[in-house]
Chains A and B, each alone.
Chain A
Amino acid sequence: MSKSLVSISDFNKEEILKIMELAAHFESNPGEQLLHGRVFATLFFEPSTRTRLSFESAINRLGGRVIGFSEAGNTSVSKGESLHDTVKMVSNYCDLIVMRHYIEGAARYASEVASVPVVNAGDGSNQHPSQTLLDLYSIKKTQGRLDGIHIVMVGDLKYGRTVHSLLQALSHFGARFTFVSPEELKLPDEYKIFLRDHGMKFTETTDMREAIKDADILYMTRVQRERFSDLMEYERVKSAYVLKADMLRGTRDNLRILHPLPRITEIDTDVDADPKAYYFEQARNGVFTRQAIISYLLGVK
């Protein structure tokens, strides 16, 4: 079976470092046509314009061609074809499949069925490993290292898959974590157990202003209204998880602010002009990281 990337745990530490190295290479050589004549399928059973364009940009920069669909609406899938049959068929047409699906575990199953590598571009609330790798690349680029960083994660730590995958990945590098979230959206116990088992230090707080004083990375996520069982509670706490420019006074010079995007209100637009705001460059790093992932899985680099 060919090597796929479904979950961040599919890559060991060496492979993560290899992706970092390759992403840096593609950043300096963005138009290297390593995949000329190859065909890639982007199967987006659930629409995500941002992720799809990032993958398609990465494939195009490498000289590959793209087939696929951006939503399941008008495909054989909407006519009741099983995921199994769709993936079996498409793997005859292409060299690699990029897949996003609202069903959790769909990408793992697709990787078992497909004869070509599968890259998971998000399966429900489960995994989105290329996001995690681009987050790591952004950390590496801005801090010059991955080892021993202090990262403050803010917002929806209960349902936020980017948070869960990133902390799993950072466990290879001995990070220190501070978790800032409303009571209802605290980090689930299974991840705290994971961190303890891996000897990682972490603290939990509701005070973002204090937490970011000695942070290297501030990782912001959306706090969505519909995640709250108590809407009064949402109204009460929402402003406590909004980053404003004045909060950055007295923070470290090397602090950089990351966000998986799209943001709603959790980062005030007055932060955008601050040199510590990094979320738009982070999105740009996604293209290089995806070039790295694809080339690595196909063994061309």
Chain B
Amino acid sequence: MKRDDKTVLEVSALENGTVIDHIPAGSLFKIINILSLDNITNRITFGTNLESKRIGTKALIKIADMEVDRHYLSRIALFAPEARLSYIKNFEVAEKIKLTVPDTIEGGVRCANPVCVTNHEKVTPKFDVVDKSDITLRCRYCEKITTTDQFEIIK
């Protein structure tokens, strides 16, 4: 058993649900927001400022009895590009997914340009990811750039 997996299990054993690990500590609340975890009644365990060889300090989230829908994966990746997501069934990892930053994003993030049509009409923002390491989005509509420090989550 790898050390990271052990950390997960030590917090409290999860019978069924989803574990999201290797979230940069600073992005934890962004992920909570994306998944609307403040509005559900499932048992949720958070850990933050945990040691991580890969990303410095990390956070992790364990959600009991919920399979996080896959359509969230690309949005989570914007804030936690190194994250791993595991689906747990009967105390075992049924599937482990290494997140990847997608080429395009639909919805989830607001275009930073205040005069963009997506901020004035009922239009789902669509972006091309023009830089995957220092995550940078270009709006398909106004063609302006939105960078991580400008990210504002919308639902």
Chain A residues in the interface with B (C-beta under 8 A)? 7, 82-84, 102-106, 108-109, 123-124, 126-127, 190
Contact = CB atoms under 8 A, between A and B. Distances in A.
B121 A109 contact: yes
Contacts of A105: 111, 116-118, 139-143
Interface of B: 111, 113, 115-118, 120-123, 139-145
A83 B145 contact: no
Contacts of A106: 117, 141
Given A82-B121, A84-B121, A127 B143 contact: yes
Contact of B122 (A7, A84, A103, A126): A84
A126 B121 contact: no
The 10 A-B residue pairs with the shortest CB-CB distance, nearest first, are A105-B141, A104-B142, A105-B142, A105-B117, A108-B141, A109-B117, A106-B117, A103-B117, A105-B116, A104-B115
Which of B118, B121, B144 gathers most chain A CB within 10 Å? B121
A103 B115 contact: yes
B123 to A, nearest CB: 6
Nearest to B140: A108
A20 B22 CA distance: 54
Given A103-B116, A104-B141, A190-B145, A109 B123 contact: yes
Contacts of A109: 117, 121, 123, 141
Given A105-B141, A105-B143, 17 more contacts: A83-B121, A103-B115, A104-B115, A104-B141, A104-B144, A105-B116, A105-B118, A105-B139, A105-B142, A106-B141, A108-B117, A108-B140, A123-B142, A124-B115, A126-B143, A127-B143, A190-B145
B116 A104 contact: yes
Given A103-B116, A104-B113, A104-B116, A7 B121 contact: no
B140 A102 contact: no
Contacts of A7: 143
Contacts of B142: 104-105, 123-124, 126
Contacts of A103: 115-117, 120
A245 B145 CA distance: 40
A104 B117 contact: yes
Contacts of B141: 104-106, 108-109
